[in-house]
Amino acid sequence: MAESPLLSFEPILSFSVSAPDSFNHKKFFQLTGMAKKSSSQVKDIFRFLDNDQSGFIEEDELKFFLQRFDSGARVLTPTEAKSLMAAADHDGDGKIGADEIALTHSHHMAKLL
């Protein structure tokens, strides 16, 4: 089981066993503490999630998003992966770059303030 030292691990476990099509990326990022991280920390989390280290997170990688934290976790459904992709793929190229994650994070933080 991989554990990111930058996120609260216990909430991740509850998402890893949640029912299919119940994953809510906004709630995940809030409960794990990502919503409160600096831009630099968010980029570190991105590198942790970029399983193939290509510099981008593709939809196929998103299916295994929860398994990056817990190897026994379920895979995201196609609907959940598409929703997560749509939330962060700002340029519409079908992949998420580190800058897009940082932009998504800063937009979320602005809404909290």
Q: Is 95 annotated as a binding residue?
A: yes
Ligand-binding site membership of 21 (annotated): no
60 assigned binding-site residue: no
Rounded to 5 degrees, what are φ and ψ at 91? -95, 0
Check whether 44 is labelled as a binding-site residue: no
What's the maximum distance between 2 C-alpha atoms anywhere in the chain? 36
Q: In 3-state terms, what secondary structure has residue 41?
A: helix
93 known member of a binding site: yes
Instruction: Report yes or no: 63 and 74 within 8 Å, Cβ to Cβ.
Output: no
What residues are designated binding site for Ca(2+)? 50, 52, 54, 56, 61, 89, 91, 93, 95, 100
What residues are designated binding site? 50, 52, 54, 56, 61, 89, 91, 93, 95, 100
